[in-house]
Structure 1
Amino acid sequence: MKAMILAAGLGTRLYPLTEHFPKPLLPFREKPLIGHTLDLLKKANIFEVVINFHHFPDPLKKYLKTQKEFEFVFSDEPQILGTGGGILKAKPYLKEDRFVVINSDVVMQPSISELLKFHLAKKSLATMLVRSPKPTERYECLGLNSQHQIRQFKVKTIHPRYRRVMFCGLHLFEPEIFDCFPNKKIFCINSDVYAQLIQEKAPVFGSLYRGAWLDLGTLDLYLKYNLKYLTASQKSHFKQMLRKLAPGVTLPKTTSR
């Protein structure tokens, strides 16, 4: 199975950090954001990856060339093609088998193998990784029926008969998805493909993910999660520096007896 990482966006919600720098290279937990995406693919034994580029592609390509385990195909977009147009441009590389598409600005740890099992069991054309949103989160949501088929898409109010979920930024497609694409170069996978498929009650399903999920796509969230991680790392660092002598008593390791 192959994968595509969507990395062509301007990252405007992260300005000024991304004004002169590609969003996928912003650091988090001692590696670039896209490094976490590659780790996820590596765990699933997916090493053939196409990546689209637009905004400051050269430093991103330089980093990717250091990731020797992977076989990358670089898809340059002098003009941004949208999520759907970007996938369509990669069709020659992806069309032979089912494939994964993943965003480059979220950090999560789902099992792609389990996602594939779900996808095959449902005989799905497209499967979206979804999660239950927290009450404080303001994402557009999807409605799942009892069979986990997506019946409402990107709406603010979910019908009571459906489960309210949100998209996590990871899809799994059958190659037949290309037959559902509109006849144009620039388009959105959500509004121009998914919306129509769901209206037609096509086999589009949502696989529920219950693990940690961090959206670092805005400046506030990026700074929030970096600060949270650095604070936790600092506490861990000091705990390692101290050794316990008696209940409630600690001294630095460098202290003489």
Structure 2
Amino acid sequence: MTIKQAMVLAAGLGTRMRPITDTMPKPLVKIGGKPMIDYTLDSLKQAGVERAAVNVHHFADQMEAHLKSYHGLDILISDERGGLLNNGGGIVKGLTLLDRETIFVMNADLFWIGEQPGAPSNLDRLAGFFDAGSMDMAMLCVRIENTTGHNGTNDFSMAADGRLTRHRDDQSNPVVYAGAFAMRPEFLDDAPRDPFNINSYFDKAIGRGRLYGMMMDGHWLTVGTPEAVDEAEETIRQFRTFA
């Protein structure tokens, strides 16, 4: 299956990245010579996505100008200038710009490098892994040793078939959520239209036995502070050297 639409979360204030984010939105901070959001958009385009809703708030004009210049995706702006909706509310609002087919949801400030050349991409594999009959959500996951910039905390435990439970409840086979998941829009039909955290729907899916994960290929990066920029760029240099 090819998933042809996506929601990209890009509206946050990036407070931990100050003073950089005093003058620009975090998704436009360049890592390895490329704005963070472009790693996300490039991976979506590579996987066959045709349309993406992107929410904006912090320095929204800068975000809109950059997205207008990005080629290869039909990008729709989900405008949160009037007030941030947190990640859950942001997804719900963005879904109103898309159709009712399966979507990817991705963060604009989390990305990965080092996928195997010539092999199906992480998002290609995730699209093939997601089964709406047995899953509410299917998310990319990564081993903590294959991350840069992470806080050192595991999010979930993964069963042999990919079913996920909270790591705090089950200490076996720990994994980190890598900032991308696939789902059917109707899973959020009962969600509030006000700000809320999407974690509540991760827990809902766990309660139904329908949250699944798939291990990603490559190395995952999160850049949360100005000091983390150098660490991320060194990781990218190392991967490019040995590619």
TM-score of the pair, normalised by structure 1: 0.80
* 1:75, distance to aligned residue in structure 2 (A): 0.8
In structure 2, how many angstroms separate the alpha carbons of the residues matched to 1:107 and 1:184?
Answer: 28
SS at match of 1:74: strand
Shift of the 95–163 alpha-carbon distance from structure 1 to 2, 3 Å rule, reads farther
The CA distance in 1 between the partners of 2:229 and 2:83, in whole Å, is 27
* 109-118 vs 8-17, greater mean Cα deviation: 109-118
1:142 paired residue among 142, 156, 176:
156
Distance 1:59 1:80 in 2: 17
Measured against aligned partners, the alpha-carbon deviations of 1:177-224 in whole angstroms (never above 9, x if no partner) come to 12352x34110101x2112331x2331101111311111233232232
Equivalent residue in structure 2 for 1:207, among 202, 214, 224 = 214
Q: Is the 8 A contact 2:136 2:205 kept in 1?
A: no
Q: Would you say 1:43 and 2:57 are equivalent positions?
A: no
2:118 is matched with which residue? none
- Looking at structure 2, the residues matched to 231 and 189 of structure 1 have their Cα atoms a distance apart, in angstroms, of 34
The structure showing larger relative contact order (alpha-carbon pairs under 8 Å, at least 6 residues apart) is 2
Q: Measure, in 1, the Cα distance between the counterparts of 2:112 and 2:164.
A: 22
Task: Point out where structure 2 has 5 or more consecutive residues left out of the alignment.
Answer: 114-120
What SS is found at the alignment partner of 1:90?
Answer: helix
Q: 1:189 aligns with which of 171, 189, 198?
A: 198
SS at match of 1:100: strand
Residue 246 of structure 1 corresponds to: none
Paired AA for residue 226 in structure 2: L
SS at match of 1:18: helix
Q: Deviations over 1:55-105 (max 9, x none)?
A: 001111111111232211101112110100001112222341000011111
Considering only CA atoms, is the larger Rg found in Structure 1 or Structure 2?
1
Kindly indicate whether the alpha-carbon contact (under 8 Å) linking 1:5 and 1:52 is maintained by their aligned counterparts in 2. Answer: yes
* Paired residues of 2:87 and 2:197 also in contact (CA < 8 A): yes
Q: What SS class does the counterpart of residue 120 from structure 1 fall into? A: coil
Aligned partner of 2:228 in structure 1 is 221
One-letter code aligned to 2:125: E
Residue 186 of structure 2 is matched in structure 1 by 176
Would you say the 8 A contact 2:142–2:175 is kept in 1?
yes
Letter paired with 2:208: K
Q: Which residue of 2 aligns with 1:251?
A: none
Q: Corresponding residue for 1:63?
A: 66
Query: Displacement, 1:148?
Result: 1.1
1:54 aligns with 2:65: no
The list of structure 1 runs, each at least 4 consecutive aligned residues, that deviate by more than 4 angstroms after superposition, is 227-233
Q: In angstroms, what is the RMSD of aligned CA positions? A: 2.5
Q: Is 1:88–1:178's contact at 8 Å kept on the other side of the alignment?
A: yes
Pairs within 5 Å for 1:77-92: 77=80, 78-92=82-96
Measure how far apart 1:129 and its partner are. Answer: 0.5
Q: More deviation in 48-57 or 128-137?
A: 128-137
Counterpart residue number, 2:129: 118
Distance 1:203 1:57, change over 3 A: same
> 1:98 corresponds to which letter in structure 2?
T
Change (3 A) 1:218 1:116: same
Distance in 2 between residues matched to 1:151 and 1:16, nearest whole Å: 37
Identity of aligned residues (%): 29
Matched residue SS, 2:22: coil
Do the aligned partners of residues 30 and 177 (structure 1) sit closer, same or farther apart at CA in structure 2, a change above 3 Å counting?
same
* Contact 1:7/1:104, CA 8 A, preserved across alignment: yes
**CA deviation string 1:128-153 (max 9, x = no partner):** 1101112995124201222211122x
The answer to whether the Cα contact below 8 Å between 1:141 and 1:158 also exists between their aligned partners in 2 is: no
Query: Bigger CA drift: 73-82 or 208-217?
Result: 208-217
Which runs of 5 or more structure 1 residues have no equivalent in the other structure?
237-257
Residue pair 2:93, 2:193 contacting (<8 A) in 1 also = no
Structure 1 residues 85 and 232: alpha-carbon distance in aligned structure 2, compared to 1, 3 A threshold: closer
Closer, same or farther: CA 204–177 of 1 in aligned 2, 3 Å: same
